[in-house]
Amino acid sequence: MKLIILDRDGVINFDSDKFIKSPDEWKPIPGSLEAVARLNQNGYRVVVASNQSGVGRGLFDMAALNAIHAKMHKALAQFGGRIDAVFYCPHAADSQCGCRKPRAGLFQQIAERFHIDLAGVPAIGDSLRDLQAAAEVGCLPMLVETGKGRKTLYTGGLPEGTQIYADLAEAVDAILAGR
């Protein structure tokens, strides 16, 4: 099985320091929906792994999160794309849970659900914690410069072997070209 793991905010859709709290605030980054559809058309299962601490902070509830994801799924379907599963950590940033990135709990859940060893599986994010969680389980960390990506690149400390791309579309081009 060909699998790819994506962060949501800053990779698929524009991010906000005030959180994406409603479907109206969820806006796709140009080219991202088409990129997911290209992955699907090339046999990839696409999974999202996302910290959603706004739930734990009381900024939005599960109904709002589900509505945001419903909008994402509907938008992707218009391009012939799909997300096969969404894994998220609803806990606040000060939580000691194992699922909040940079911890690898979400990635471990994905491995269990899909019965797959994540070694070498591309994992695309825009923050250091996305890349750290990916590297911990042996995924290939890929940084996009959208969202918090430029700041992450500037700050440094990237896991060894991290690949860097302008956006999700460019990262998908590289994956599909076998780079």
Kindly list the catalytic residues: 7, 9
**Could you tell me the maximum CA-CA distance found in the chain, to the nearest angstrom?**
42
Residue recorded with tokens 């430029």: 150
Q: What is the 3-state secondary structure (H, E, C) of 113-137?
A: HHCCCCCCCEEEECCHHHHHHHHHC
Q: What is the spatial distance between Cα 160 and Cα 131, in angstroms, rounded to a whole number?
A: 10
Q: Which amino acid is at 120?
A: G
Cross-strand bridge partners of residue 49: 87
For residue 64, the SS3 value is helix
Token pair belonging to 138:
């042996």
For residue 147, the SS3 value is coil
Task: Give the containing element (helix H, strand E) for 92.
Answer: none
